[in-house]
Chains A and B, each alone.
Chain A
């Protein structure tokens, strides 16, 4: 009986490992890696959490727009056991948190249905709260007769004045929207509340009936 050749000396070998088995291993490896990465190593849970925070803030702002009377509500950001930042511009609420698996910062953005007047404390603005707004209107447009509040409404029969006041709000919103697009209101410390305010600007008909125009103000000034 002849001695069988050593494995490496056996020239009758086939190269199957170089073709389908390697293909099979690669395909199975990629498939398992895809499932594992999507399930265990992706940031979808963290993204969903950030999205939920952004959505909650946006809903609070939009709900303020649906109030039919003047209102001021402190908004306290949701408490989380990790740090997150919030930026608010006229059109978006953005939540950013650290700790992503593949990216340093996880960002979630929620579009706002309305355009609020955002008054960052760091900006030197003519008014921040509704009280300051009425005072501003009293001095600037009302000729110290009309403030746009319920006691000193703007007269609707003075069409020029009403047009000027409405134009002011439109221009001010556009101006701050542009500035906020470049430099949004950034809330670093989410333990500090922001204040959501519904302000009504009153206009008086000749017969004494009142019309109102509602605006939403977001500011950081603690009301007195």
Chain B
């Protein structure tokens, strides 16, 4: 009786041609999934950054509306004037004006001195809602005018940095 080819114990070496082809396909696999994973991760990172920027942009626009506690006065020439003496502004005032769902933010107001150097307006060192940032942050800014007690107006900018609320 002839032995079945499955029962044939005489081993043969694998054909050489199929192994490199299998290797090429497996490399293709790896490259494809690496590319897909990179695209997916990058897309979500960009989406996250875009959402944070939208929140920061909304906050900076909202905080420079005429009814904002930061804006003291304005006229047609300089519509956005921040009084230099805003140390009485609290986080609660900020939240009442602009309460971003799911985000906290920090506000910093800068002015440019005689030498053109950027300086932080006193009283805005610790102006933030919620808790300190613990993750990614994105900032948006807008040009404003800062009015000092002696009536001098200097140009500066308001910078709002946004991060996601914890929990």
CB closest residue in chain B, given A10: B5
Chain B residues near A15: list those with CB within 8 A: 5-6
| Chain A binder among B18-26, B81-89, B111-119, B137-145 | B18-26
A35 to B32, Cβ gap below 8 A?
A: yes
CB closest residue in chain B, given A55: B54
Q: Given the known inter-chain contacts A21-B18, A34-B32, A112-B101, please indicate yes or no for A66 contacting B8, CB distance below 8 A.
A: no
A113 to B101, Cβ gap below 8 A?
A: yes
Task: Quote the shortest CB–CB distance from A45 to chain B (angstroms).
Answer: 14
Q: Given the known inter-chain contacts A31-B29, A35-B32, please indicate yes or no for A66 contacting B58, CB distance below 8 A.
A: yes
Cβ-defined partner of A23 (8 Å) among B22, B55, B58, B101: B22
CB of A28 within 8 Å of the partner chain: yes
Interface size on A, residues (CB 8 A): 33
CB of A60 within 8 Å of the partner chain: no
CB closest residue in chain B, given A26: B25
Cβ-defined partner of B19 (8 Å) among A20, A62, A65, A115: A20
Q: Give CA–CA (A115, B102) in the complex, Å.
A: 11
Cβ-Cβ contact count across A and B, 8 Å cutoff: 73
Cβ-defined partner of B102 (8 Å) among A28, A30, A111, A214: A111
Chain A residues near B103: list those with CB within 8 A: 113
Considering only residues 28-46 of chain A, those with a C-beta below 8 Å from chain B are 28, 30-31, 34-35, 38
Cβ-defined partner of A27 (8 Å) among B22, B65, B96, B101: B22
Q: Give CA–CA (A62, B101) in the complex, Å.
A: 11
Task: Quote the shortest CB–CB distance from A61 to chain B (angstroms).
Answer: 11
Chain B interface size band reads: 20 to 34
Chain B residues near A65: list those with CB within 8 A: 58, 62
Chain B residues near A11: list those with CB within 8 A: 2-3, 5, 8
Chain B residues near A28: list those with CB within 8 A: 25
- Cross-chain pairs A/B with CB under 8 angstroms, 12 sampled: A11-B3, A14-B12, A20-B18, A24-B22, A28-B25, A30-B29, A68-B65, A113-B101, A113-B103, A114-B101, A200-B67, A211-B67
Per CB-CB distance, the 8 closest pairs between chain A and chain B, nearest first, are A20-B18, A27-B25, A212-B67, A24-B22, A14-B12, A13-B5, A68-B65, A28-B25
